[in-house]
Amino acid sequence: MSNAEFYLQNNFLPTLTNIDFNDDKDFAYYRDQRLYLFKLLKVPVGYFSNCSYLEIGPDSGENALFAATLGAELTCVDPNPLSNTKVKELFDSYRGGILMSKLVSNQMIYFENFDSKTKFSFVACEGMLSTVKNKEGFYEKLASVVREHGFLMISYYSDLSIFSDLFQSKIFKDIIYNQLETQSISESNILEVKKIGVDLFRNKWSRIRHLRSLDTWVMDVLINPVIRFENGVDVITLLEKFQSLGLSYWNSWPRYEKTSDMRWHRKIQNLDDQLNVIALEHKKMSLQFLLGYSTDFMHAIDNSIVLNEIEVLCKDINQTLDKSDWPSLKIQFGSLLSLLYSNPCFVQTQDFKKIISIVKMLLFIIDLLIEKKYSELIEVIKLELVPSQSTFDFGNYWGQPNHYLALYKDC
Summarize pLDDT for 138-154 with one digit per residue, the tens: 999 999 999 999 999 99
14 and 135 fall within a common domain:
yes
* Residue 233 pLDDT exceeds 70: yes
Rounded to the nearest angstrom, the gap between the alpha carbon of residue 303 and the centroid of all alpha carbons in its chain is 29
126 and 179 fall within a common domain:
no
Distance CA 249, CA 243 (A): 8
Mean pLDDT across the stretch 73-90? Answer: 95
Mean pLDDT across the stretch 333-348? Answer: 91
142 and 94 fall within a common domain:
yes
Examine residue 130 and state whether it is found in any structural domain, yes or no: yes
111 and 192 fall within a common domain:
no
186 and 205 fall within a common domain:
yes
Distance CA 195, CA 217 (A): 12
Q: What is the pLDDT of residue 265?
A: 55
Q: What is the pLDDT of residue 268?
A: 62
Q: What is the pLDDT of residue 209?
A: 86
Distance CA 237, CA 165 (A): 22
Distance CA 249, CA 279 (A): 12
Q: Parallel, antiparallel, or unpaired for β 73-77 and 247-253?
A: unpaired
Distance CA 200, CA 216 (A): 14
DSSP-based three-state secondary structure for 223: helix
> What does the mean pLDDT of the chain come to?
92
201 and 85 fall within a common domain:
no
Kindly report the CATH number assigned to the domain that includes residue 145: 3.40.50.150
DSSP per-residue string spanning 361-406:
HHHHHHHHHHTT-HHHHHHHHTTSSPPTT-S--GGG-----EEEEE
C-alpha closest to that of 129 among 102, 99, 152: 152
Examine residue 334 and state whether it is found in any structural domain, yes or no: no
Q: How many residues does the chain have?
A: 411
* Residue 324 pLDDT exceeds 90: yes
C-alpha closest to that of 314 among 186, 158, 203: 158
* Residue 330 pLDDT exceeds 80: yes
The parent domain of residue 30 ranges over 3-157
92 and 177 fall within a common domain:
no
pLDDT tens-digit series, residues 365-397: 999 999 999 999 999 999 998 877 677 889 999
71 and 173 fall within a common domain:
no
pLDDT tens-digit series, residues 161-196: 999 999 999 999 999 999 999 888 988 999 999 999
10 and 151 fall within a common domain:
yes
Distance CA 370, CA 326 (A): 6
Residue 18 — pLDDT band, cuts 50, 70, 90? confident
Query: Among the residues of 15-133, which ranges form H helices?
Result: 24-40, 62-69, 81-93
Q: Parallel, antiparallel, or unpaired for β 120-125 and 402-409?
A: unpaired
**Residue 183 DSSP code:** S
Residue 271 — pLDDT band, cuts 50, 70, 90? confident
Residue 107 — pLDDT band, cuts 50, 70, 90? very high
Distance CA 301, CA 303 (A): 6
63 and 123 fall within a common domain:
yes
83 and 131 fall within a common domain:
yes
148 and 10 fall within a common domain:
yes
C-alpha closest to that of 405 among 151, 161, 220, 128: 151
Domain count, the chain: 2
